[in-house]
Structure 1
């Protein structure tokens, strides 16, 4: 199987190079922060972006669902970027998302989803799945034996050498949470550097690379 297996207590999870999380027990595929319609929002504010930006996010999502055949696709918030980007075409696509993905689609409501209504895709509150507490933004689980799995932070790691700099999305684990933050799935999303307290797995060219050592010369890095 592709990706990197990671076990937390009784939960067996897999970090996927497509910036998604797989839970084998329930055959659940989790993604976060798609920010669909972002190009249209920027265009409304006079910033030119190509109108087909959603294809770069939706097509990989459909390919991923067809490859893994999940029983559920769980979106951990920020499915869309803003209400003004929710065009009739995007609404129709989202209405057809369960059929396109071949599975049930659940949306944990995020801050960017607020005040948006999508037919057949209600925004759900944070909830428990097995030993996981699923949320959009980081939260403290209601029980000490739950792992918070969330998005929102768009975690990235900055790699530096004397001549080069590279920023890569990553999966980030904070043992004190305990919390696992998954990378943003959307094509038109930025990221924030992880703090040193996070253990990190980099996503590079579809591969997962463990990166546990603190980075050198990281003064001024922004903590997630």
Structure 2
């Protein structure tokens, strides 16, 4: 896998013969397809927890919208591919805001690979003209899924979400930092969770794997 630094804190990598841009906003851009790939936005999660009486800061939702709009404006993708867990709740105001965003960028095709948290009634997807894929999406050489595949078919490279990958880096003394990351193995890559209000799970790279952390507005290989 080849890597090349970009002047906006992003990094270009070559995966399965394709050039991918790893963006510090926790997004991936596939240049050949002009496709923006995002995983685990969990829109509506903050409102869901507030409704349950938990004090969730309002800027959590603003961060999601600000980063998403910036990516759409700066990269100008032809399509946006959500690798599951787009929406975390039943219908609420954040879904209407998302529909408004899709209308604002009507020239972009939005597609969703269903994740385990995508439980909205189908009519909401239809009304929003959001194309839905229940069993993943094949765009050679990539097989796009929500859950990472246990066995990747020969000739394919699996790109997935769900895990919310991170690594722990040691600093001076006993300091440790937990950082979201892009994780690439032999035949599978896992995107970081895009959503600002999500947990993270530590990944354990094997020999030959590559990990790119997001720190200080930059994507860095570790």
TM-score, with normalisation over the residues of structure 1?
Answer: 0.85
Kept after mapping to 2: 8 A contact 1:141/1:147? no
Q: Give 2:164's aligned residue.
A: 154
- Call closer, same or farther: CA 1:103–1:47 in 2, change over 3 Å: same
- Decide which of 94, 108, 111 is 2:113's aligned counterpart: 108
Q: Give 1:124's aligned residue.
A: 133
Q: Give 2:3's aligned residue.
A: none
Q: Give 2:190's aligned residue.
A: 181
- Say what the alpha-carbon RMSD is for the aligned residues: 1.8
Tell me the distance in 2 between the aligned counterparts of 1:140 and 1:133: 13
Q: SS in structure 1 opposite 2:60?
A: coil
Tell me the distance in 1 between the aligned counterparts of 2:196 and 2:64: 5
Q: CA deviation at 1:77?
A: 0.7
Q: Name the stretch that deviates more: 117-126 or 147-156.
A: 117-126
TM-score, with normalisation over the residues of structure 2?
Answer: 0.86
Tell me the distance in 1 between the aligned counterparts of 2:121 and 2:64: 20
Tell me the distance in 2 between the aligned counterparts of 1:116 and 1:52: 27
Matched, 1:28 2:35: yes
Q: Give 2:183's aligned residue.
A: 172
Tell me the distance in 1 between the aligned counterparts of 2:24 and 2:210: 17
Kept after mapping to 2: 8 A contact 1:95/1:121? no
Q: SS in structure 2 opposite 1:14?
A: strand
Kept after mapping to 1: 8 A contact 2:205/2:211? no
- Decide which of 50, 54, 78 is 1:71's aligned counterpart: 78
Q: Give 2:174's aligned residue.
A: 163
Kept after mapping to 2: 8 A contact 1:155/1:193? yes
- Call closer, same or farther: CA 1:123–1:114 in 2, change over 3 Å: farther
- Decide which of 20, 24, 41 is 1:17's aligned counterpart: 24
Q: Name the stretch that deviates more: 156-165 or 129-138.
A: 156-165
Q: Name the stretch that deviates more: 178-187 or 10-19.
A: 10-19
Q: Name the stretch that deviates more: 18-27 or 142-151.
A: 142-151
Q: Give 1:94's aligned residue.
A: 98
Kept after mapping to 2: 8 A contact 1:28/1:72? yes
Tell me the distance in 2 between the aligned counterparts of 1:142 and 1:112: 23
Q: Aligned pairs, how many?
A: 206
- Call closer, same or farther: CA 1:72–1:122 in 2, change over 3 Å: closer
Kept after mapping to 2: 8 A contact 1:14/1:22? yes
- Call closer, same or farther: CA 1:192–1:35 in 2, change over 3 Å: same
Q: SS in structure 2 opposite 1:97?
A: helix
